[in-house]
Amino acid sequence: MAIEGATARPAVAASASRSVRQDVLALLNRWGWVKVLLFLVPACLLLMLYLVIPIVMLIVMSFYRSTLFGVVPDFSWNNYLHFLRNPMFPNLLLRSIRLAVTVTAISLLVSYPFAYFLARGTRRFRTTLLILVMVPFWTSYLIRTMSWLPILGIKGLVNYSLMTLQLVESPVEAFLFNQFSVVLTLIHIYLPYMVVPIYLSLDRLDGRLLEAASDLGATPLRTFWHVTLPLSLPGVVGGIVMVFIAAFGAYVTPKLLGGSSGIMFGNVLADQYSGTFNWPFGAVLALIMMSVVLVLLVVASRFARLDAVFGARA
């Protein structure tokens, strides 16, 4: 007995301490989860309120019927068929995609060299230039759009200069109220969205890698092609995604500067809500727009990890 007791006691003590430790760990774990949840609750609520619920409502609404007396709950594919039967809508969608692609492409071509210069070329003017890039952000979107009127208008800066220099006889009207002015203005407005991510990815690039490439026999051009460009791809993809989404969904700029030829998908969509009050059809247009963006995100994720693109990963 005595021997048994002597051997049993430490065992009991050990198991007791182990169970206590387990309890503490479990408690910690549980409290850990509580803490995690506490941190996530506000974001989850916001997501529910502003994203999940509205999207569910959109999907439900897209099957409703719009009558003269308001929106009637229903389950009909008519709204979708309306989109497909009327060639104006798909054409407008394609044109908007084309405009957004143009804006994105030109932004990229302008931004990459600039971001490169900012990150790797200069030290003295870096802060100044970065601030100059960001300044438009601090101005109202509307003002940035409207500012093109006195520049491109008939009595605007460009025409005035051309007239004064006697390069043209009468003011050029082709500057405003068409796709050109929309593309130009959208580039102006969304350029920072392209410059900043590319700048950040280039700034993060380890200079020793460039030295290593040079050391191994790569000329500066080939170093750029084999090292700099691939390693800045997350920034490039991030910029493309952000500028495309913003340009694709733009409707204020086309409305103000687009005239009739510069109308975009977003304008028709907005009209369904504020003009013709055909909310169910508006829901269809919104869902189609979202699908285009989703497709873009899927394609983008093939080229770069999206968590890297949006900075979650170094």
- Interface with another protein (CB under 8 A), residue from 27, 226, 291, 294: 226
| Least distance to another protein, CB of residue 226, Å | 7
Q: Provide the mask over 49-88, with x wherever binding to another protein is found by CB under 8 A and - wherever it is not.
A: ----------------------------------------
| Least distance to another protein, CB of residue 125, Å | 22
Copy the structure tokens of residue 215. 């050391």
- Work out whether 306 is an interface residue with another protein (CB under 8 A): no
Give the integer Cα–Cα distance in Å for 179 and 163. 23
- Work out whether 132 is an interface residue with another protein (CB under 8 A): no
- Interface with another protein (CB under 8 A), residue from 23, 74, 211, 307: 211
Residue 167 vs 216, nearer CB to another protein: 216
- Interface with another protein (CB under 8 A), residue from 22, 161, 219, 261: 219
Residue 71 vs 231, nearer CB to another protein: 231
Span from 36-44, 151-159, 173-181, 207-215 in contact with another protein (CB under 8 A): 207-215
Q: Kindly state the number of chain residues that form the binding site for another protein, as judged by CB under 8 A.
A: 18
Span from 9-17, 53-61, 136-144, 205-213 in contact with another protein (CB under 8 A): 205-213
Q: How far is CA 269 from CA 50, 51, 81, 286, 306, in A?
A: 19, 18, 16, 7, 28
Whether the CA torsion 199, 203, 204, 210 is positive or negative: it is positive
- Interface with another protein (CB under 8 A), residue from 141, 222, 275, 290: 222
| Least distance to another protein, CB of residue 201, Å | 12
- Interface with another protein (CB under 8 A), residue from 213, 250, 292, 296: 213
- Please answer whether residues 273 and 225 qualify as being in contact, where contact means their C-beta atoms are separated by less than 8 angstroms: no
User: What residues line the site for another protein (CB under 8 A)?
Assistant: 206, 208-209, 211-219, 222-223, 226-227, 230-231
